[in-house]
Each structure stands twice: as C-alpha cells, then as structure tokens.
Amino acid sequence: MAFELLSCYHVLMIYAQIAVFTYTKNNNDLFTYGVPPELRSNIKVGQIVTVFFNKRKLKGLVIKITNEKPAFSTKDIQTIVEENPIPAHLIKIIFFLQTNCVSSLRQSLGTVIPFNSFSKNRQAKETKEKEIKKTDFHKLNPEQQYAFNEIKKSITEDLSKTFLLMGITGSGKTEVYLRAIEEVLNRGKQVIVLVPEISLTPQTYSVFESRFPGKIAVWHSKLKETEKFKTWQKIHNNEKPIVIGSRSAIFAPLKNLGLIVIDEEQENSFKQDQTPRYQTRTIALEIQKILGSAVILGSATPSLESYYYAKNDNFKMLNLTKRATKSLLPQTTIVDLRDEFKKGNKSIFSEILTRKIRETLAKKEQIVLFLNRRGASTFVLCRDCGFVFMCPNCDIPYIYHLLTNKLICHHCSAEANPPTTCPNCKGPYIKFFGTGTQKVENELNKLFPSARILRMDKDSTKKRDSHEKIYSSFKNHETDILIGTQMIAKGWDIENVSLVGIISADSTLFVPDFRAEERTFQLITQVSGRAGRGIDKPGRVVIQTYNPDNKAIKYAAKNLTRDFYDEELLIRKDHNYPPFVNLVKILYNNIVQKDALLAATKDKRLLETKFNVLGPIPSFIPKINNSYRYLLVLKLKESELNDFLGDYSHRVEGSIDIDPQNILL
C-alpha cells in the first residue's frame, strides 16, 4: 500500500522549465523547478512566476511543463505572479530574438516582457482618459478605396499579406489605416499601430481615439513603471484591442492580433540599437508568419529595402499619388548658399527664406524650420593654432549649448565650460563654428522679436509631457514658428503651415554611410510635406544647400520619388549593398586600443575562411566614453547569413548587429 501511494506521488509530480530573468553563466539556460501541489492545477506555459535562484527571489517565464523527473534535485516555484499566460507567439519571438539578433535569453526575455514593471501589489494611479469627440469616417477617394479594398480582402480571407502603402505626404494613409482597423475589430481581432517617434504618439492617439473611443492603449518608453504595469495588464486582459506606440509596442501581449501597422516604416528609430538589435519590420513579419496577421508598411518615402521587395512582389504595393484634401504639393525653391556667401550674406537664413518668413508671419500663417542638429555650435576652435575643443572621453568635438552656456558631448554627456583662451597656445581668439537648433532660435528671436517661437529637439523634450505641449501649442496657433530636428519631419498635419525652411540640406548628406543620400531624400521629402496641407493655403518650401546638384536634393525638390529609388537601387546593386546582400556589423570595444584591434583581428581570421569580411577598421567615431572601437563588416547572401547565425555568431568576441542602420558608427 505504501509503495502504491509513493508511486502515485511520483506520477503527480510536475516540473517546469523556467527562463529566469537574470544573468547566468552563459545567459542561455532554462532552469527546471518543481511545481508544488498548491500550484499544479493552475500552472501554465507562458505564466510569469517567482523562483529562488542563487538565494535571490527572481521572476521568470514558464517555457515548458513536463512530468519527466530530472536527474538532479529541484527547488519549487514560489508564486504565480501573472495567472494569465502571455500569448504563445511572444514566447516564439523571445527565441527568435535570441537566435536571429544574437542575444542572450535574458536580454530577449527582458525585451519582450517588462519584468521591471511587475511587483507584488504594485498599484498605478488611475489616470482619467481624455475625452475626445468621436468623429465619423471620411469618404475615401478612388486611390484610397482601392488600397482599402485590397487590404480588406486580405483581412476577411485571412491571406496574411504584407502591404507597402506608398503615398505622398498628405495623401490620406491614416484614413486607410483607420478603415483597415475597423475591419479587423469587426472580426473580433486586435491591432498594433507603430509610430517612429514618441512625439507622434499624442496626435496619433487623438486621431485614433476619436474613431475608436475607449479602445486604445498607448505604449512607449517614457511611461512610468507603474503606468507600464497598468497598461500592460489592460492589453493582456483584452481590455484594449488597439495598441499605439513606438518600437517596443510590437511586443504588446495581444492574443488575437489581426493587423500590424508600421507608419513611417523607413525610420531609423524602428531599429533597436542595443542588444537585441532587432529591426521592427522583421519582428512584424515574423509575427505574421506565426499568426497570419496582415501587415501594412506606410510611408511617402519607404526604406529602399521595402520598395525593392514590393517591386519584386514580396510585398503588395499600394500607391496614393494625390493629396486627400485636394491641396497641391508645395512649390520648392533650392537656394545655393555659395551664392549667398558671394553676395555677402553670412546669416543662417538666405535672403529668400528671410523674406518668406516675414510674408508668412504677416498672413498669420505658420512656419516650420528644420535642422537636424541640436545645440548652438557644432565645434569650438582656436583661430590662432587651430586647436579644436574635444571631449576627453570621445574622439569628437564638444557641441556648444547656448541656453546652458556649456560644451556638451552628445555621446557620453561630458560637460565643460566654454573657453576664453586656448589651452594649447593661450591665444584669445576662440571661434564658435557651425549651427544647431539653439542658434537658429537665437537668430530668429533677433530678426522677428514679436514672433512666437518654439524649439523641438532632444534638449527641449526631456520632460515626459513636453512633446504633447509643443504639439498642442503649435496646432492651436499659440506658436508662429516651430524649429526642430527630425522629430518634426513627419506626422504633423497642421493646415495653417504654409512655409517650410530647410536650414541645411547637407547636414545628413556627407556622412560615411551608403544610406546617406537615401536618408537625405527621405528627410527633405517628409519635412517638405508639412507645408500646404490647407486647401486655401498654398505651401512653399525653401531648401538651403551648398550642393544644389546632388541627386537626393534635386529629386526631393521635384517629388521624383520613384526616379530616385530606381537610380539608387542600381547603385546599390553595383556596389553589392542591401537589399542585394545582408550586412553584419561586429563592433569591438576596449579601453585598451590594441586589445580592441587584437580581438577584431582574431575574429577576422576565424570568419574570412568562410565569408567576405571587411576590416578591421576604426569606427567613424574611434573612441566613445574612453572605449576604443573597431569594426568588422560582413556582406552575406541569405544562405551565408544562416550559416553565420548557426555556426559562427556565438564564437566571435564583438557585439553583432544584423542589418545595421549605420555601418561605421
């Protein structure tokens, strides 16, 4: 009888394999724990639990449940933190990140699940949702209707298609998104909408909430931990069927996901720059493989990769060639700054831009001025000996910030007081060179003292509600001129904006990266599209440049998007760059320069027997935060990439970036 009872006990023993949220010896282990009797009826794969690990109580995720007794003694699971399991597709995504983005299990786990937001009895202050007046759907024009019909067919027939919705600025892509979302909700499914900037979240939320009141959750990195916990719970418990947010919202725990929309899909911010270095588009397509969800990639200026895939029928191309409001695209003027200098104009603003600003202010219309460089001056130099004031931790010049009167390093945040004499030659002739958004603001205040001016960049948006305040002020015409970096290049649909000035179109052009012209074209096109959205307010764009014959600038000024993309594809093919190959960047950091180079050289010997390896070369910024940086770059076919991920990625010392957005940084 005793033997029978003992046998029964063993039959009832259950074990769980747990991915523990902590650093372990190889960061890739699953750990086996016993399931105590009181939890056996409730334990499920995908639950978040607590366990003792090295005498610490930690959280983990249940990956597998088994009756198979391990060959070692086990500790028991302590508690189930989250009874409701995370969706099964997210467990698959955790392991996809681990393999395809070359990260540890712990890093992948923490990327998908906000473990830091979970705490026993954590209570978030209940925030009252803003009341936004419900609006009706607008009538679609023929192009919008065709695009929606194609997407609707995929949704209703479960065709699991990827669409590239390529529409000029102001063409009504958002209205197509809204119709597609309504179709998905009517079928009892859920939606993720991704935007590239946190600054776009307030206006995106307002538009979507007005159509789907009470159904939207907002997710981004500036939420407090308590807010994250509360929001995650609402999404997880099916209280909010639409999730709007930045990159990390792709991991929203929606159990019945029917549609993923990535707006402005070309943006760099959709690529995570820390391990796991994932491309959001890639994750969306992987989720599509698992769940069969529809995916919409939207942009006036898509990534060259997406354009290429659509041309080759991997994605379905949908074109919107007319503005939804029937307003015309703005008239564009290119100003050659070399001619301005010859005329004796040393101002930041060309004569024509100054005149247009004055005329626009007189008409009570609004202005957007774009410069993709914050601060006041880009470097400080001694005119006697040529000494440049450099960050002591990084091999880059300090940026002068006017408002704080400080020299600041934009890579390690080191600060210094601006010099009065040169530390090298003791000379007094110190000159501040270059232009940033703070200098533009300062000069504007001198030229137009009665104008109401706001600046939007990383420095002016440090507070969590600053994006929304700036947007609200500009939308309500409490601001006449908005100066900004790429934060203002997209998503701002304000009908009273009739003038856009691009202070320096060259600022993104001459960097050592094969995507430089593509990005310049995209930025010019996007920011130009802020002008002239009102039917009775024709738009005007002034592009200032020292390189008026550059193809990116010329094609953007003439709205020749396809011409630019087709020409750029030929260049990429000739030089063997994406989308025709896969790039892999391996970065080596070390406070000892020779050790960084040695590690890179050692790995090159390993890799060059199998792959095409470039380097080792110093990074474009060879030292950051006292750490020297060397690179290897691999150009791989699809089969070679699979070999690299399977057999070589865990044998190299450097940190690996698949599909890097910046090769030499």
DSSP element (H, E) containing 497 = strand 497-502
pLDDT(500) > 70 = yes
Give 7's pLDDT tier (boundaries 50, 70, 90): very low
Percentage of the chain beyond pLDDT 70 is 94
pLDDT of amino acid 123: 54
pTM value?
A: 0.91
Percentage of the chain beyond pLDDT 90 is 67
DSSP string for residues in 69-137? PPSS--PBP-EEEESSPPPHHHHHHHHHHHHHTT--HHHHHHHHS-GGG--TT--PPPPPPPP----PP
Highest mean pLDDT among 43-52, 455-464, 510-519: 43-52
Does 382 appear as a known binding residue? yes
pLDDT(28) > 80 = no
| Look-up of token digits 């300090």 | 398
Q: CB neighbours of 153 closer than 8 A, spacing ≥ 6?
A: 159
DSSP element (H, E) containing 542 = strand 540-545
Pairing between β-strand 48-53 and β-strand 430-433 as defined by DSSP bridges: unpaired
* Length of the chain in terms of residues written: 665
Does 422 appear as a known binding residue? yes
Sorted by where each starts, the structural domains of the chain and their CATH numbers stand as 13-117 (3.40.1440.60), 142-320 (3.40.50.300), 331-376+435-571 (3.40.50.300), 582-658 (3.30.70.600)
pLDDT of amino acid 100: 95
Task: Calculate helix-pair angle for 466-475, 201-211, nearest 10 degrees.
Answer: 70
* Chain centroid to CA 285: 16
Contact 520, 564 (CB under 8 A): no
The reply to whether omega before 418 is within 30° of 0 (cis) is no
pLDDT of amino acid 224: 83
pLDDT(5) > 50 = no
**What residue type is assigned to position 480 of the chain?**
D
Does 425 appear as a known binding residue? yes
Does 8 appear as a known binding residue? no
pLDDT(4) > 50 = no
pLDDT(242) > 50 = yes
Pairing between β-strand 56-66 and β-strand 162-167 as defined by DSSP bridges: unpaired
pLDDT of amino acid 511: 79
Which whole number is the average pLDDT over 41-61?
A: 93
Q: What does the DSSP 8-state code read for residue 648?
A: I
Q: What is the mean pLDDT of the chain?
A: 90
Higher pLDDT, residue 183 or 394: 183
Structure tokens at 176: 């197509």
Q: Alpha-carbon distance 244 to 515, whole Å? A: 28
Does 101 appear as a known binding residue? no
Q: Which long-range contacts (CB under 8 A, 24 or more apart) does 90-98 make?
A: 90/46, 90/251, 90/253, 91/45, 91/46, 91/61, 91/63, 92/290, 93/251, 93/283, 93/286, 93/287, 93/290, 94/19, 94/61, 96/283, 96/286, 97/276, 97/278, 97/283, 98/28, 98/276
pLDDT(6) > 60 = no
Count of Cβ atoms closer than 10 Å to residue 373 Cβ? 22
DSSP string for residues in 425-437? T--S-EEEES--H
CA 179 to each of CA 25, 118, 187, 207, 210: distance values in angstroms, whole numbers, following the listed order = 50, 35, 13, 13, 13
